[in-house]
Structure 1
Amino acid sequence: MRISDLRFLLAWLLPLMTLFGILQAPAQSALWTLGLWIIIAAADVWLPGGGRSPGPISAPARLSYFRWVLRGYVPLQLVLIAAGAHAALRSDWLTLLGVAFSVGFITGSQGITFAHELGHSKSKFDRACAWVLMSSVCYGHFMVEHYRGHHPRAATHEDPASARRGESLYRFLPRTLWGSLASGWQLEAQRIAQFKSSWFRSPLAWSAAGSLMPFVLAALYFPAPAAIKIIAFFAAQSAVAFLLLEVVNYIEHYGLQRRQQGRRREAFGVMHAWNADHLLTNSMLANLQRHSDHHMHAWKAYPSLAALPGPQLPTGYAGCLMLAMVPPLWFGLMHKRLDALQRQAAPTSS
């Protein structure tokens, strides 16, 4: 193992710091989370050498360590959610919302990112871990829609999770939230019919039941004021988490389009996803920003992904999340890049 391999353990730093903050000073947890977000975004821009991550790793003997970085995070997330619920019980409503934001920021950034990677694994254990993580943020349909819907349809108008040029984040969110939910359940219904299975054996149905359990248990075992707080906390942290996911989806394919004729789509290529190779964000997000290579080789383990010379974001995901929330600023930065890509792709006239 090389020293550079340890950088992916930075992904545990944020949840551990958030856990400590919630236990010690829950009223300040939201401010700490916002501060960390800004620091990461700034480091992507100004950290010397921070715009480039180490190259891909392919040695099989080293890949086991990288899998356990993801697996080891799963119980950490469950502890974090439990600690957040405990803090919410003892807090006023403003503090409760702050704690939910802090927990949701982690379950959305680290948790969903790791679930995404584990879900691409061929290991049944890894995929079970992914279902646990997605169920804990009430977004189990991602486990169907992402792999069987988004990957075949990414960068086309058929994909609810691919943003179109000129579409603001606030127009995109309702479309992707409803479209992804509907598509996930439709794809699962098709699978059940195709294999003559049943909803009783559907992991999506069990995930939905698992997501409902905190609400049911809170209502059954706590007095009304406490139950309402637990339910509000769990719902709020889930909402923060999956909204964060969808903002990342907005960024990843914004304005990029694969050619399509009838049902035939152009093969996914390097030009159909936005990339960034910033060291700190890639270390915390399991190389998610090397997105073109991920779509072109979906079974590649995250340390094996390469930085390809495709469309490049103005900064890492941490900064782009903020930029996307201000549509005029986002459009101003991204449309220049889209126009440059279009000129680059245009055939040279003789």
Structure 2
Amino acid sequence: MTTWRLSDLRFLLGLLLPALTLWSVLDDPAHAAVGAAVIWGVIALGEATVPWFRRSPPSAGPQPALAWILRAFVPLEILLLVAGGAAAAHADLPTILGLAFAVGFVAGAQGITFAHELGHSRHRGDRALGWVLMGCVMYGHFMVEHYRGHHVRAATHDDPASARPGESLWRFLPRTLAGSWMHAWKLESEFLHLRRKSWMRSPLLWCTVANVAVLTGLAAAGWWGVLLFWVLQSAFAIWLLETVNYIEHYGLQRGTDADGRPEPFGTQHAWNADTLLSNSVLANLQRHSDHHVHAWKPYPELQALPGPQLPTGYAGCILLAALPPVWFGLMHRRRPAPAGG
């Protein structure tokens, strides 16, 4: 029987944030954004200034029971979306914007992160839950592009989700948004052709149809506040995802061999951080090198490997990346020399 260590209980913070946000949306929707902003600020400031927050406990090996934190998050996010939509139905524009920020913060920071982890699971049910979470932010193609595209091409010029040296976040965003979407549909088409399956068997197609149906239904019913809330929370969640993508491989390039093929992915091809609060809330996502080297390894088992280190945790780096001169000044001195090839 698997037992949890005391230090593993930190991952329960992954359920505390959506629960607190749900309570805030239900209790005082007009000020829900304040709570989300305070939490973000506390994590970012704490990891940048408090030495105790700069290291996470090491992995103690397999902890399969911790997968239930990811699974339990799914109904919490659905409840949060329903509560946010209900509050937005008769709210004014500032309240709708605040609700979208609060809910999108949870859906992007945690929902997409947990969908990513569930999608790497060997269990079909977990992967289905990943599709549900990505459908909640209208970004289902991530479930194709990330596993079949990004993990193959990460830290190469061909990967739309890998930021190039000197590329600002604001130049990166249109390139990754368009490139990831187009490549996902191309990969899905090739996959279905290879397996001799019809598009009717494609979860990407059905996730897209479901999203279009929800948008159409809300518009047809005249629920414009709910429609605006859902679109804006999705947009903010997607921005968080793609900003994290920008951070994770910024300026790192794999070398090529004599045939032009990229070298194997190594610890030097992803930025890492081992800060306590972000790793606890984001299922060890910041141990990113180990995740790429061992893509099927469950999040509690990820190790803090040597390699390029971020100046602080993701919560702070997202804010830094939004300011290109500050970001470049911090990162270029940390970036390892490019590989030959």
User: Is 1:55 paired with 2:86?
Assistant: no
Q: For residue 219 of structure 1, report the CA deviation from its aligned partner.
A: 3.2
Q: For residue 263 of structure 1, report the CA deviation from its aligned partner.
A: 4.8
Kindly provide the amino acid, as one letter, of the partner of residue 158 in structure 1.
Answer: D
User: Equivalent of 1:19, from 22, 25, 45?
Assistant: 22
- How far apart are the structure 2 equivalents of 1:243 and 1:213? 23
**Number of the residue aligned with 2:330:** 333
Aligned residues of 2:89 and 2:224 also touching (Cα < 8 A): no
**Number of the residue aligned with 2:262:** 265
Q: Which structure 2 residues correspond to residues 136-147 of structure 1 after superposition, within 5 A?
A: 136-147=136-147
User: Equivalent of 2:44, from 22, 41, 44?
Assistant: 41
**Number of the residue aligned with 1:255:** 251
**Number of the residue aligned with 2:87:** 87
- How far apart are the structure 1 equivalents of 2:219 and 2:312? 44
Aligned residues of 2:90 and 2:225 also touching (Cα < 8 A): no
**Number of the residue aligned with 1:232:** 228
**Number of the residue aligned with 1:155:** 155
Aligned residues of 1:7 and 1:283 also touching (Cα < 8 A): yes
User: Equivalent of 2:32, from 23, 29, 33?
Assistant: 29
What number of residue pairs does the alignment pair up?
336
Q: For residue 22 of structure 1, report the CA deviation from its aligned partner.
A: 1.1
Kindly provide the amino acid, as one letter, of the partner of residue 203 in structure 2.
Answer: P
Aligned residues of 1:88 and 1:96 also touching (Cα < 8 A): yes
**Number of the residue aligned with 2:7:** 4
Q: Which structure 2 residues correspond to residues 178-217 of structure 1 after superposition, within 5 A?
A: 178-217=178-217
3-state SS of the aligned residue for 1:342?
A: coil
Q: Which structure 2 residues correspond to residues 61-80 of structure 1 after superposition, within 5 A?
A: 62-63=63-64, 65-80=65-80
Deviations 1:42-95 (A, max 9, x none): 111233421111111323xx32x2110100000000000000000101210111
- How far apart are the structure 2 equivalents of 1:45 and 1:208? 39
Kindly provide the amino acid, as one letter, of the partner of residue 58 in structure 2.
Answer: G
Deviations 1:15-58 (A, max 9, x none): 11111111111111122211211101011123342111111132
Q: For residue 128 of structure 1, report the CA deviation from its aligned partner.
A: 0.3
Kindly provide the amino acid, as one letter, of the partner of residue 248 in structure 1.
Answer: V
Q: Which structure 2 residues correspond to residues 236-315 of structure 1 after superposition, within 5 A?
A: 236-261=232-257, 262-315=259-312
Aligned residues of 1:214 and 1:234 also touching (Cα < 8 A): no
Deviations 1:140-169 (A, max 9, x none): 000000000000000001000000110000
**Number of the residue aligned with 1:342:** 337
3-state SS of the aligned residue for 1:53?
A: coil
Kindly provide the amino acid, as one letter, of the partner of residue 51 in structure 1.
Answer: R
Structure 1 residue ranges (4+ consecutive) displaced by more than 3 angstroms after TM superposition: none
- How far apart are the structure 2 equivalents of 1:57 and 1:189? 41
Identity %: 57
Aligned residues of 2:100 and 2:230 also touching (Cα < 8 A): yes
Q: For residue 116 of structure 1, report the CA deviation from its aligned partner.
A: 0.2
Q: CA RMSD in A?
A: 1.3
3-state SS of the aligned residue for 1:336?
A: coil
- How far apart are the structure 2 equivalents of 1:334 and 1:92? 41
Aligned residues of 1:119 and 1:126 also touching (Cα < 8 A): yes
**Number of the residue aligned with 1:219:** 219
- How far apart are the structure 2 equivalents of 1:66 and 1:210? 30
Q: Which structure 2 residues correspond to residues 94-113 of structure 1 after superposition, within 5 A?
A: 94-113=94-113
Q: Which structure 2 residues correspond to residues 316-327 of structure 1 after superposition, within 5 A?
A: 316-327=313-324
Aligned residues of 1:120 and 1:298 also touching (Cα < 8 A): yes
Deviations 1:122-144 (A, max 9, x none): 10000000000001100000000
- How far apart are the structure 1 equivalents of 2:17 and 2:256? 41
3-state SS of the aligned residue for 2:52?
A: coil
Aligned residues of 1:138 and 1:208 also touching (Cα < 8 A): yes
Q: For residue 264 of structure 1, report the CA deviation from its aligned partner.
A: 1.3
- Scaled by the length of structure 2, the TM-score of the pair is 0.96
Kindly provide the amino acid, as one letter, of the partner of residue 196 in structure 1.
Answer: R
Aligned residues of 1:155 and 1:253 also touching (Cα < 8 A): yes
Kindly provide the amino acid, as one letter, of the partner of residue 124 in structure 1.
Answer: R
- How far apart are the structure 1 equivalents of 2:217 and 2:106? 23
- How far apart are the structure 2 equivalents of 1:260 and 1:18? 46
- Scaled by the length of structure 1, the TM-score of the pair is 0.93
Aligned residues of 1:135 and 1:207 also touching (Cα < 8 A): yes
- How far apart are the structure 2 equivalents of 1:210 and 1:260? 41
**Number of the residue aligned with 2:170:** 170
